[in-house]
């Protein structure tokens, strides 16, 4: 076992009724995956081809959609295989890769949302300095930080954890999240402390920044004219909706990872599905419907496609 544990296969025991409803699950998951790809790729395409959308706010939205595509592609294809298989297993290395993508991209989302909050703050509270503050270099640095820091933090945890041995080989989830830590023989004190510090750095600090920026935005818009309040509502409301969605997804993930294993599997499935469906699917829908400029270009694209097909 000492020489082989990194090649160990882990059983994903969170599936319910695969023998009876496997094909139904496959159709539902495939429909969700295709819908996620279509909505997010549409957002990315519209932002890329229209020069008036080459602004920081829309660039961050496109980055969120890129994250959603990568996140879904990491999770869903494996689900397709599992619901049609007699045994739902995953290799230890593949599980760690899925874990890495899951948490690095999820953490990247909150940093991108923080960058968007800062962008809205500068746009509304310091409009005359906006072009200077939110220049190309600033946007590039914010994107780099949002993608690089989470990847490094999660990678460090995985490298340290790779030295731990497995004593259990069955997790009650259907993809690799924090539940995999229950499989190790010894719980690492260093990793627990590292995880707490990392959470404070990449979750608590951005949350404080977001709260601060929106308090400032609220104060400024409250004392401004109707047009300023209208503009702030149009751009900030979708952002707040996505933030609330991200917050609840984090709560679902934390709760599902901490739930006792004797609870019904259906509860675990429902909790886990919140994480892999809501964010990747709702984000592009919210921005596509609520963001006026994006919505306008999407409608034109759909009209062009329908006219061309006729």
Q: List, in sequence order, every beta strand (DSSP E) within the chain.
A: 9-12, 89-91, 170-171
- Cα(first)–Cα(last) distance of the chain, in Å? 63
pLDDT computed for residue 44 by the predictor: 93
Confidence at 3, pLDDT banded by 50, 70, 90:
very low
Q: What is the mean pLDDT of residues 38-63?
A: 92
Among 9-23, 36-50, 94-108, 241-255, whose mean pLDDT is lowest? 241-255
Domain count, the chain: 1
Task: State pLDDT tens for residues 77-122.
Answer: 999 998 888 888 888 888 889 989 988 998 898 899 889 889 988 8
Q: What is the mean pLDDT of residues 35-64?
A: 92
Kindly tell me if the per-residue pLDDT of 261 is higher than 60.
no
Confidence at 299, pLDDT banded by 50, 70, 90:
confident
Q: What range does the domain containing 65 cover?
A: 5-309
For residue 88, give the nearest of 162, 1, 19, 185 by alpha carbon: 19
Which phi and psi angles does 260 have, rounded to 5°?
-70, 145
CA dihedral for 100, 101, 102, 108, sign (positive or negative): positive
Q: What is the mean pLDDT of residues 184-191?
A: 73
Kindly tell me if the per-residue pLDDT of 144 is higher than 90.
yes
Kindly tell me if the per-residue pLDDT of 263 is higher than 80.
no
Query: How far is it, in rounded angstroms, from Cα 32 to Cα 26?
Result: 10
Q: What CATH number is given to the structural domain containing 115? A: 1.20.1070.10
């Amino acid at each position: 076992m000492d020489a082989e544990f990194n090649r160990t296969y882990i059983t994903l025991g969170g599936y319910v009724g695969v023998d009876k409803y496997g094909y139904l699950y496959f159709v539902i998951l495939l429909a969700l995956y295709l819908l996620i790809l279509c909505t997010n790729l549409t957002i990315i395409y519209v932002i890329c081809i229209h020069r008036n959308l080459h602004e920081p706010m829309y660039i961050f939205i496109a980055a969120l959609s890129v994250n959603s595509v990568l996140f879904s592609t990491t999770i869903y294809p494996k689900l397709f295989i599992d619901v049609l298989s007699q045994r739902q297993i995953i290799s230890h290395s593949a599980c760690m890769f899925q874990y890495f993508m899951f948490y690095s991209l999820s953490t990247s989302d909150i940093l991108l949302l923080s960058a968007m909050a800062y962008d809205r703050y500068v746009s509304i509270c310091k409009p005359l300095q906006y072009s200077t503050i939110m220049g190309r270099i600033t946007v590039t640095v914010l994107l780099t930080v949002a993608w690089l820091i989470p990847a490094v933090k999660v990678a460090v945890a995985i490298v340290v954890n790779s030295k731990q041995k497995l004593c259990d080989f069955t997790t009650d989830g259907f993809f690799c999240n924090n539940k995999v830590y229950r499989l190790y023989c010894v719980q690492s004190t260093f990793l627990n402390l590292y995880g707490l510090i990392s959470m404070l750095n990449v979750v608590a600090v951005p949350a404080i920044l977001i709260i601060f920026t929106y308090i400032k935005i609220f104060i400024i818009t409250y004392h401004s004219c109707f047009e300023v309040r209208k503009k702030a509502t149009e751009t900030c409301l979708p952002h707040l909706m996505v933030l609330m969605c991200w917050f609840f997804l984090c709560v679902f993930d934390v709760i599902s990872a901490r739930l006792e294993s004797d609870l019904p599997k259906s509860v675990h499935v429902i909790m886990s599905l919140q994480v892999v469906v809501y964010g990747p699917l709702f984000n592009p829908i919210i921005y596509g419907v609520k963001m006026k400029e994006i919505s306008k270009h999407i409608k034109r694209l759909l009209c062009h496609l329908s006219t061309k097909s006729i």
